[in-house]
A = this chain, B = another copy of it.
């Protein structure tokens, strides 16, 4: 499976999705075994607002932010990630002759994991414990099912949520789910493409891009990462640790963002960590 690449396209604002999908379809048509993973956070916020259920976020004591996911939020999450975005991506890819199959981590138990049983939330200096949040992390990937699809010429298009071993849907971070997928499949490359050019030394200055990070100086990346970039760096680290030889955090925009990232743009993580 060292010929498989996993490309995750972020769900943030300002990504020209159609454009990068054209390039992805071309790659698939050229014979590349590939899995696309996508997010949908920005669109989910917009739809949640329109439905009169504005998104809420939890800030952990360490400053990490995540979406508060109760059952009503999960329904909206499913609508946008699995419905609107996933199906429009599959439609676009099929119109460009890629045999795409859109699935969530729930389907066939592709992404199985555990639900967090308690989340610390800091608000106005007060820390509370939230116990009913439907979020967690991917621990197992159904490699047999994904190989079945890849071996028969299909291109899986994957999106959260994942599912617990008991069968409860959980919101998981799509970057880390993509990393878990790359790790489980023994993929050759993991690309995390979004609306930022890569890991920045100073997150307010796009010119401060860190172009290359070796396995032994991951702390640099960890220290530099702010906000959503924290999860991407963590995802990169998880994939490298599991033996994925090449991880790139780069931009989903530009003329040929996938080729650009593979040819040196963005932040390249190289070398197994094991």
Contacts and interface: CB of A to CB of B under 8 A. Distances in A.
Interface of A: 47, 50-52, 75, 78-84, 86-88, 90-92, 94-96, 99-104, 106-109, 145, 148, 152, 154, 161, 163, 166-169
Query: Which 10 residue pairs of A and B lie closest in terms of their CB atoms, listed nearest first?
Result: A83-B83, A95-B167, A79-B79, A79-B83, A94-B167, A78-B87, A82-B83, A78-B83, A101-B107, A101-B108
A162 to B, nearest CB: 11
A91 B50 contact: no
A104 B102 contact: yes
Contact of A94 (B82, B88, B148, B163): B163
A83 B79 CA distance: 4
A81 B190 CA distance: 31
A135 to B, nearest CB: 15
Contacts of A81: 83
Contacts of A95: 166-168
Consensus secondary structure, chain A interface: helix
Contact of A78 (B51, B88, B96, B104): B88
A148 B108 CA distance: 13
A88 B107 contact: no
A94 B80 contact: no
Contact of A80 (B52, B79, B104): B79
Nearest to A53: B50
Contacts of A94: 106, 109, 163, 167
Contact of A75 (B78, B84, B92, B163): B84
A96 B167 contact: yes
Contacts of A96: 167
23 contacts: A47-B79, A50-B50, A50-B51, A51-B51, A78-B83, A78-B87, A79-B79, A82-B82, A83-B83, A87-B104, A87-B169, A91-B163, A91-B167, A94-B106, A94-B163, A94-B167, A95-B168, A101-B108, A102-B104, A102-B106, A102-B107, A103-B107, A108-B154
Contacts of A90: 104, 106-107
Contacts of A82: 82-83, 86-87, 102
Contacts of A109: 94, 99
A75 B84 CA distance: 5
Given A87-B161, A95-B166, A100-B108, 16 more contacts: A47-B51, A50-B52, A75-B84, A78-B88, A79-B79, A79-B80, A82-B82, A87-B169, A90-B106, A90-B107, A91-B163, A95-B168, A99-B108, A99-B109, A102-B104, A102-B106
